[in-house]
Each structure stands twice: as structure tokens, then as C-alpha cells.
Chains A and B, each alone.
Chain A
Amino acid sequence: MTIIKSEVLPLFTDDDLVKVRQAVRAWMIEQEFSLVTQTKMVTASSELGRNMVVYGGGGCARLECLNDFDRRGIRVIFEDQGPGIADISQALTDGFTTGDGLGLGLGLGGAKRLVNDFEIWSEPGHGTRVTITMWK
């Protein structure tokens, strides 16, 4: 698998989140993903990005365009140095939220359902890294 191109975007504010969403959308369009797939990926990125801004203290999003033999993919890696997640499986459960009810507590689990590949790494006190990939 090769990475054709990549770009790192800062993710600290709502405005940064808008730029990340726009970039993900633009990359998906460039690779000719269908409208539904685009929307799913953009929405998943929006969920994870918002989590990072609100709970993770901000970080960065790394966009990658992948070439894997016969298929193309878009991968987005969200990484922060925030408080981390103590119980990942609990965080992936629908309805789980530590916040003040900003979202619906469907963020992580919802994002996982929207994409093809979903990987999460987190260590309390060190940060969280979530990788999502959409294949075509």
C-alpha cells in the first residue's frame, strides 16, 4: 500500500473543523467517491474532529490518499494530546458521553458505522488517535 499524497491540518477551533471537512470533501470528490460515501466520510470526520476540539483540547488531522493494488482509499488520522479515553469499548457504546450533551453521545460509535475501517488508540493522560479509512 502506498500513500499518494498527504496533508496535515491543525484542528483547534470550529473554523479549523470547517476546513478539515472541506478538505475531506474535496479529496473524496477528487477520487470520485459517490455522494453518499462522501457524505458519510465527511460526517464521520466531523464527529471525530468535533470530539477532538471539544474534549481532546485540539490536535491535528492528517489526510492521506492511498493506493492499495486495485483500490483507492482516503484515510484521515485524528490525533490529540488530550486526556485520552479510559474505557474505549464503553466510549464506542451508543449514548455514552462525558460532555454536557453537546452531541447525542453517538459520536464514536456512529463514526465507526459510517466508514470502512476504524482504528482507535488511546492512553489516559497521553492522548487519542483515531484512524478512519474509506475504500473505493
Chain B
Amino acid sequence: MHEDIEQLKDKFCITATDTELVRQAGTLLADFMPEFIEKWYAWLKQQEEFSLFFGSNSSNLKRVQEQQSIHWQSFFVAHINDNYIKERRHIGEVHARIGLPNDIYFAGMSIASQLLSDELWNIKPMPANIGAIANALTKHLFLDSYLVIDEIARIQNLRLSESHKAMMEMSTPVTPIWEGILLLPLLGILDSSRTQEIMNKSLSKISEERTKVFILDISGVASVDTAVANQLIKITKATQLMGCSAIISGISPAIARTIVELGVNIGEIKTTSTLRDAFEIALKLINVTVS
């Protein structure tokens, strides 16, 4: 993912002076860093998430601690470039993968910020520009956490849209129920993106299976408004163009009355109240008698 680094710095009001100040803080805090990591993990060990994510796996913990030490080194070098951003986004990716809750991440960043600024204000002799250093540090910390959290959010959104797509596909189960007869039971709410999906899947299935009769069962559809009716009419017209008869079944009394009062003209589309009726008609259409 490419980001405009200058724009990002601008947004977080990070100037070249700020970056200089963070580097200065890095020099001032260099000796403190091992103790900082130690103190930070002392805090983390008290959190219930610690045992959840590390358990008794001490080699894992050691690896993560090393990573963290490298992370802070690069933080204080403060070269905000593509590599810096990539590293932060990688942390986000790891957090998203292990499902680390946001509260523990932000609490951790807050503790880190406290530890660092406490140490900074204790340095003797106190640097004259201590306030400016602390400010610059805060800006950089916020940018750092933003990048991590944004990556987590991006991955979560990706997952969500993937599962939405999967659900769309699962919710249009076009099934051949007899040679030449295709059934599509529709459930729930029909919106435009779903009807589009239904149209695509049904039409390709009709040509694949050389279907003669297509039954669209809407007994599970809660309400049919004009937009939905229009889509249903379009689907049946398209199937008819492909040389396949279409039957809409499962028109409940409530939906029938609503369609009439809306004034929808369904034209020559064959409709039935039950799926059973539709199936009987379909069998007749393909000249099959079942005894």
C-alpha cells in the first residue's frame, strides 16, 4: 500500500524540527531502553492478555522482545519513509492475525509513552527544550499507532468484504432438481447487488445445464416492492430469451395483494402459490410423468 509520506506528516503536524527532536530524545534515552523494555513487559505480564498470547512459550516472548527493541530503535531514528511505514503496517498485520484487542494495544502505547516521558523529565541536567522534545515524541507516537491501527482496520474490512462475498454466493443456491429443471429458492431481502448476483448465476447455470424450466421460489422473501418486482421480471425475461421457461413460485397471499395494489403488471410470467404447483408445471413442460 502506497502512502503519501509528506501528506501524512503534514496531517500529524510533524515538522523536520520534530523529527530532529525525536532523534535527540533517542540519544538522551539510549541507555534507558533496555530498562524500558523490561518495565514495559513487567506491565504486560500483569495483563490477562499476556498469558493468552504468550502462554508459557518463553522463546516466543524472547523473539517478540527483540522485535520490540528493534522497533523502538527505528522509532528514534525517525526516518519516516516507505520502510518505516511498512514495518508499522506489518505490526498491524500481525496484531490482526493473532486478534489482539485494540484496548490492550492502546493501553500498551500509553504505558510506553508514560515510561518514556517520565524518564525524559528526570534527565539531569534537564535539557532546555524538554517541552518541545516531549511534544515531538507524542506526535511521532500517534503517527506510529495510527499506522498500526489503520492496517488492522484495513485487514478487518478486507475480511468483512470477503465474507460478504462468500455469503452472497451461498445465498444464491441455484440447484438442478431434475434434468432440465433448475430451482432457485430466495430468502430474506432482495437488494440490487443481490439481484444482480442472482441474475448472473442463474443465467450461466441455465446455459451450463441446458435448462428448460427455471423455478424462482420467493416464499422466503419478506416483501416485494417495485424495485424487486422489476428485477424479478428482468430475470424471468432474460431466462425466457435463453429459451427457458420461467416460473415464479411461492407468492404468498400478502405479497399477492401488495403486488396488485402497487399496480405491478407481471405480464405473461407464470406464477404459482406453492413450489409444488410450480414443480408439477415444470414436469409437464419437459414431458415427464411421475407415477
A29 to chain B, nearest CB (A): 12
Closest to A101 in B: B230
Closest to B230 in A: A104
B254 within 8 A of A: yes
A interface residues (Cβ-Cβ under 8 A, vs B): 14, 17-18, 21, 25, 35-36, 38-40, 42-43, 46-47, 50, 94, 101-107, 109-111, 113-114
Closest to B265 in A: A104
B interface residues (Cβ-Cβ under 8 A, vs A): 189, 191-193, 222-227, 229-230, 253-255, 257-258, 261-264
Q: Is there contact, CB below 8 Å, between A21 and B230?
A: no
Closest to B192 in A: A14
How far is B24's CA from A109's CA once the two chains are assembled, in angstroms? Answer: 72
Chain B residues whose C-beta falls within 8 Å of the C-beta of A113 in the assembled complex:
261-263
Supply 17 further A-B pairs (C-beta < 8 A) apart from A21-B222, A106-B263: A14-B192, A18-B191, A25-B222, A35-B254, A36-B254, A39-B223, A39-B255, A40-B261, A42-B223, A43-B262, A47-B262, A102-B192, A103-B226, A103-B230, A104-B264, A105-B226, A106-B262
Closest to B261 in A: A113
Task: Given A21-B189, A36-B253, verify A103-B261 contact (CB < 8 Å).
Answer: no
Closest to B259 in A: A43
* Subset of 26 A-B contacts with CB under 8 Å: A14-B192, A17-B191, A18-B191, A21-B189, A25-B222, A35-B254, A38-B254, A39-B222, A39-B223, A39-B254, A39-B257, A43-B224, A43-B225, A43-B258, A43-B262, A46-B225, A46-B227, A47-B226, A94-B263, A103-B225, A103-B227, A104-B264, A106-B226, A110-B261, A110-B262, A110-B263
Q: Which of B193, B257, B262 has the most CB of A within 10 A?
A: B262
How far is B189's CA from A14's CA once the two chains are assembled, in angstroms? Answer: 11
Chain B residues whose C-beta falls within 8 Å of the C-beta of A94 in the assembled complex:
263
Q: Is there contact, CB below 8 Å, between B223 and A43?
A: yes
A13 to chain B, nearest CB (A): 10
Q: Is there contact, CB below 8 Å, between B253 and A107?
A: no
Q: Tell me whether chain A's interface is mostly helix, strand or loop, or mixed.
A: helix
Q: Is there contact, CB below 8 Å, between A114 and B226?
A: no
Q: Is there contact, CB below 8 Å, between A110 and B254?
A: no
A88 to chain B, nearest CB (A): 18
Chain A residues whose C-beta falls within 8 Å of the C-beta of B224 in the assembled complex:
43
A98 to chain B, nearest CB (A): 14
Chain B residues whose C-beta falls within 8 Å of the C-beta of A105 in the assembled complex:
226
Chain B residues whose C-beta falls within 8 Å of the C-beta of A40 in the assembled complex:
254, 257-258, 261
How far is B229's CA from A11's CA once the two chains are assembled, in angstroms? Answer: 22
The 4 closest A-B pairs by CB, nearest first: A110-B262, A39-B254, A46-B225, A103-B226
Chain B residues whose C-beta falls within 8 Å of the C-beta of A35 in the assembled complex:
253-254
Partner of A114, one of B222, B230, B253, B261: B261
A41 to chain B, nearest CB (A): 9
A93 to chain B, nearest CB (A): 11
How far is B191's CA from A105's CA once the two chains are assembled, in angstroms? Answer: 17
How far is B138's CA from A57's CA once the two chains are assembled, in angstroms? Answer: 41
Chain B residues whose C-beta falls within 8 Å of the C-beta of A104 in the assembled complex:
226, 229-230, 264
A15 to chain B, nearest CB (A): 8
Chain B residues whose C-beta falls within 8 Å of the C-beta of A114 in the assembled complex:
258, 261-262
